[in-house]
Amino acid sequence: MLDEAFSLFPGGESGPRFGGAGLQMYTLADELSKNQNLDVCWLFNSTSEKIFPNTVTHERIKIYFARDVESLNSLVCSDGSKVAISSIAASAPMLLKRSKQIDAKTILRLANDNDPYRPVPVPGYTSSEILELMKSVDKFVVQNEWQQSKLHDSLKRDSRIIPSVLTFDGMAQPKKKEHILWVASSQPLKQPWYFLDLAKSFPSEKFVMLMPRTYTRTSDFVKSQAEFLPNLGLIDRQIPLSEVQDLFLRAKVFVNTSETEGFPNTFLQAWASMTPVLSLKVNPSEVLTKHNIGFCAQWSFAALKDDLTAVLGNESLQQEVTERAYAYLCSVHSPANVAKQWLSTILEVVNAA
C-alpha cells in the first residue's frame, strides 16, 4: 500500500509523482510477485477517481482500490494469511486502517531518517499522533543502523535492516560521460542550492539537475538561479525511469546534497551506471566510506568541491570506485537477495503469535 507508486504501473503514468519510497515498494512487489507461493496485491487508498482511475495493470499483481467496496470485499474474503506492507511513517494511519479492514498483519518500512522520531504530519494527524499509531504496527523494516537505533529510542521497538532494491540488467553499457548530475525532489531538505553553488564553482563543466516541481518556493528559486548558470540544465518535471537511467549512464559524477535520507535510490542508480557518488552529508551506515564506494564530505562544501576535483581529474580512481560500487550493488541490493530477506520477514510476521 502506497499511493505514490501509482504512476509506476502501466496505465498510471499520468498519476502523481512517485518518490523513492514508491519506487522501492513497486520494485519489491514486482519481485515478490514472481514467487508462486504468494498472491501479491496492491491496494490504493485514494478516493479520487480523477487521480487514480481504475486503469492500471500489472501482469502478476492484483490491483484493488479502497473506494471500490465490492473489490475490497473480495480481498477481505480471500483465503490465506494477509500481510499489509507500506513505506514512510506518514502512511501508518492508512496502513493500520486498511489492514484492519482486510484482517491483515502489518509491516511498515521507514523511509527518511526523520521517520523514527519526527514523521511528516498528514491531514488529520500530527507527528506525535502518527508516532503513537506506529506502536500498533506488527513489524518494522528500516534502511540503516541510525534508523534502527532511533526507532528503539523513540518507540522501544526492534526492527530489521533490509537493503533497498534495484532492478538492473547486468553491468551498464558504457556511454559517453558528459555531465555532473543531481536528482531529487524539490523538498527543501534536498538542499539543491549547494548544487547551484557547485555549478558556479566549475564553470567549464556541464551540470544537470532533475528536480520535479513539487515544492513551489524551492522550485521557483532554483529555476530563477538556473537562468544565470549557462552550464546548468534544469529538468523540472517527472520523466520516465528509462530516461532517468540514461541521465545516470551519461553522468561523470552523481552528487547528493540532502540534509537527510534513508538510503537513496539514486546511489543504487549511480552504482548500476558505473557513476561515482559524491555526498555532502548522507552516508547511511557509513556505506560510502566503509566500503570505499563513494565520497562523503561530512557537511563541508569545501570538501565536496575537493572531492569533485579529485574524481574528475583521476580516471583510474573513477574506475576503481565504480567497480567496487557495482560489486557491492550486485552483492547486497540485487532483487533476489532483497526479496529473500523480505520473504523471511513476512513469514515471521505471519507465524507470530
Tens digit of pLDDT for each residue in 295-304?
Answer: 999 999 999 9
Does residue 114 sit within a domain? yes
C-alpha to C-alpha distance for 143 and 113, rounded to whole angstroms: 9
Structure-block grid coordinates of residue 73? 470485499
Nearest to 339 by CA among 159, 88, 85, 111: 85
Structure-block grid coordinates of residue 158? 526492534
Query: Do 142 and 110 touch, CB atoms closer than 8 A?
Result: yes
**pLDDT average, residue stretch 318-347:** 96
Question: Tens digit of pLDDT for each residue in 167-215?
Answer: 887 666 768 999 999 999 999 999 999 999 999 999 999 999 999 988 8
CATH (domain of 117): 3.40.50.2000
Total structural domains in the chain? Answer: 2
Does residue 212 sit within a domain? yes
Q: Which residue type occupies 337? A: N
Does residue 268 sit within a domain? yes
Shared-domain flag, residues 320 and 344 = no
Tell me how crowded residue 309 is: count the other CB atoms within 10 A of its CB.
12
Amino acid 170: pLDDT: 67
For the chain, what is the mean pLDDT? Answer: 94
C-alpha to C-alpha distance for 125 and 190, rounded to whole angstroms: 24
Residue 78 CA, chain-centre distance (Å), reads 31
Does residue 173 sit within a domain? no
- Cell numbers 507508486 label which residue? 5
Give 73 or 277, the one with higher predicted confidence. 277
Question: Domain containing 259: what range?
Answer: 179-332
Amino acid 314: pLDDT: 95
Please tell me the least confidently modeled range out of 52-61, 133-142, 269-278.
52-61
Amino acid 214: pLDDT: 84
Shared-domain flag, residues 38 and 122 = yes
Question: Tens digit of pLDDT for each residue in 221-252?
Answer: 999 999 999 999 999 998 888 899 999 999 99
Query: Is the model's pLDDT at 16 over the cut of 90?
Result: no
Question: Tens digit of pLDDT for each residue in 100-144?
Answer: 999 999 999 999 999 999 999 999 999 999 999 999 999 999 999
**pLDDT average, residue stretch 328-335:** 95
Query: Do 165 and 141 touch, CB atoms closer than 8 A?
Result: no
Shared-domain flag, residues 315 and 186 = yes
C-alpha to C-alpha distance for 139 and 118, rounded to whole angstroms: 19
Name residues whose C-beta falls within 8 Å of residue 285's C-beta, 6 or more positions apart in sequence. Answer: 144, 145, 146, 161
Residue 102 CA, chain-centre distance (Å), reads 27
Rounded percentage of the chain residues whose pLDDT exceeds 90: 84
Query: Is the model's pLDDT at 46 over the cut of 90?
Result: no
In this prediction, residue 217 has a pLDDT band, given cuts at 50, 70 and 90, of: very high
Tell me how crowded residue 315 is: count the other CB atoms within 10 A of its CB.
10
Question: Tens digit of pLDDT for each residue in 64-96?
Answer: 999 888 888 888 888 889 999 999 999 999 999
Does residue 230 sit within a domain? yes
In this prediction, residue 22 has a pLDDT band, given cuts at 50, 70 and 90, of: very high
Query: Do 117 and 153 touch, CB atoms closer than 8 A?
Result: yes
Amino acid 219: pLDDT: 95
Query: Do 33 and 339 touch, CB atoms closer than 8 A?
Result: no
Query: Do 84 and 102 touch, CB atoms closer than 8 A?
Result: yes
**pLDDT average, residue stretch 317-330:** 96
**pLDDT average, residue stretch 306-321:** 96
Tell me how crowded residue 264 is: count the other CB atoms within 10 A of its CB.
21
Amino acid 353: pLDDT: 65
Strands of 9-82, DSSP E: 41-44, 62-65
Tell me how crowded residue 257 is: count the other CB atoms within 10 A of its CB.
24
Shared-domain flag, residues 56 and 203 = no
Amino acid 174: pLDDT: 65
Shared-domain flag, residues 312 and 340 = no
C-alpha to C-alpha distance for 344 and 217, rounded to whole angstroms: 43
